[in-house]
A and B are shown apart, each in its own frame.
Chain A
Amino acid sequence: MLKLTNVSLGYDGHPDTLHNISIEINKAEMLALIGKNGAGKTTLLRGLTGLLPLRSGKITCNDKDLASLSTRERAQMISVVPQAISLPAGYTVYETISHGRTAYLNWYGKLSETDRKIIDHAVALTGLSALTEKEISTLSGGEQQRVILARALVQNAPIMILDEPTSSLDIHYQVALLQLERGICRKEGIAAIFIIHDLNLAARFADRIAILHNGEIRAVGTPSEVLREDLLSEVYDIPVRVLHDPDEGLIIIPRTGIS
């Protein structure tokens, strides 16, 4: 579905941040992107969403070259759930979610019956039905994150990118959000790439995990293939312990050396 072939990315006046990245993501799949700070996760996200032009290589979505798409067409192809953000005040939850339809609307932003059906569907999926008329700034952080997820959903894009979606949430909402995301991916056939620092959440919710290290993909595979003590210790530069819990699966613990 989404295919990166020999993609290199970098910032003006600097060498490549990411070099020769090739990876494919399939329909209804959840791919977690992990790695140390500065490994290039955000750069890859910027390349995928068109904020940073590719230095070389190609990104295709359903065999369409993303570089050939207009801003509007790209928004119909890839939706983004950004890192914890403050949403513009003065809008209701419904209005905020409806902004996800921008790439389909006319100059005045008039919503059609179809648009409204799609919004209602996303509202129901994210459990926001009771809040649609509330002013956005009155919502809790967890609720706002669900609103952003719903906004991305109504973009009706086959690919969804989530940039540390759980970073500002407590453990209850972290699990709830990723559970919700996984359900949506399966049901709607969306391929999701999510950047995440919490390796336990990655182990639990990702179908596959890609580790970025020194500007390259160091490893990619299922959680049990990738989340190995030797590999994680090397990449994160800290001893790591990986335990196998019969109920919870993999549990990753960084070892501080302090007893």
Chain B
Amino acid sequence: MKMKKNKDIIIILLSALATSGLLGMLLGSVPISIQDLTAIIRFRLSGIEIPPNMKSIGTILFMLRIPRTVMMMLTGAALAISGASYQGLFRNPLADPYLIGVSSGAGLGAVIALSFFWKYSRFSAFAVPLFAFIFALAAVFLVFNLGRMGGYLNITGLLLAGVAVNAFTSALSSVWILVSGLELKRSFSWMLGGGGIAGWDRIFVTAPMILIGVAGQIRYAYPLNILQYGEDQALQLGIPVNKVRIRLIIYATLTTAAAIACTGVIGFVGLIVPHLIRIAVGSDYRRMLPLSLLGGAVMLTISDILARVILAPQEIPVGIITAMTGAPFFLWILNRTNQAKV
């Protein structure tokens, strides 16, 4: 029964991913018809030169739409799987990379790297994710230690520490943008999360980082199940708790930082998706992590399409769309968690 349900969910998610991916290529300020899309792909595959009247559509497709859609899928997948891992690590359904300050930490690192290496775009493609990773790691360790009240990490401690780290790193990012002379509009739209600066070079640098981070998280999916019993019992059941925790934090943070370096600070994907997946398939992280990966890709691809079409031809940063759907969802979970405690 359970197996069949899992299969159904995989099929639903894959179909949703294919559909949203297709729409992501077709919709935008210049709509592309499905006939044009298939024609251009046919030209490309058969090696025939694209006719002059379709060249501009070809450029939009291969240089903008496809990399942007791929990037949204990668970022959504990365944020959702990391969100699921953080929730398991902190044993808390509200641990989202954005809420616990990891995203803003990564954002600060990325902004600093951008201010130094903006002009050298080749180099910045490497420096941005690297700086993002280092700062995100610092943020997560800070939240983890600040949030421990009396040795235990509870919801209040976690959220307070997350809010503090978030506010502090976001403020630092803003100050840095102002004093370093980074292009304001571009920087702020990046901080709100948007795919406008997408490009193949960025994908080629960040995709391997995301792949390593994802593989590492899936490697520790089973120990993550056992960590849900708490530190003492996990040890008594044979899990080397500290080793597993540190590695998982590193892999999840690497994944988040790479995603953020790619598309900017996008919140709530890592909160909503794992939560819905948990409701659908239960708490086993061996199922939850891969399914969150798919779900995250779907959610962000759809959010990005909405970001492009709602106020077309103007674009809204995709982070605003995820925040607008995510914030009420967050309150709903908070309410549910509190009710479960009473």
Contact = CB atoms under 8 A, between A and B. Distances in A.
A80 interface: yes
Nearest to A80: B236
B286 A108 contact: yes
A155 interface: yes
Contacts of B286: 108-109
A50 interface: yes
Nearest to A75: B238
Given A76-B238, A89-B283, A108-B286, A99 B232 contact: no
A71 B235 contact: yes
A51 to B, nearest CB: 6
B208 interface: no
Contacts of B228: 88
A60 interface: no
A155 B237 contact: yes
Interface string B162-186: 0000000000000000000000000
B229 interface: yes
Contact of A99 (B219, B220, B226, B241): B226
B250 to A, nearest CB: 17
Interface in A86-133: 87-91, 95, 99-100, 102-103, 105, 107-109
Contact of B240 (A71, A82, A90, A155): A71
B225 interface: yes
A80 B239 CA distance: 14
A102 B238 CA distance: 6
Contact of A71 (B222, B225, B238, B283): B238
Nearest to B242: A71
Contacts of A102: 222, 226, 237-239
A176 B269 CA distance: 48
A79 interface: yes
A67 interface: no
A47 to B, nearest CB: 13
Interface string A41-67: 000000001110000000000000000
A88 B229 contact: yes
A88 B239 contact: no
7 contacts: A51-B235, A72-B240, A82-B232, A82-B236, A85-B229, A90-B284, A100-B237
Given A82-B233, A99-B237, 13 more contacts: A51-B235, A71-B235, A71-B238, A75-B237, A85-B230, A85-B233, A88-B225, A88-B228, A89-B283, A90-B283, A90-B284, A99-B225, A103-B237
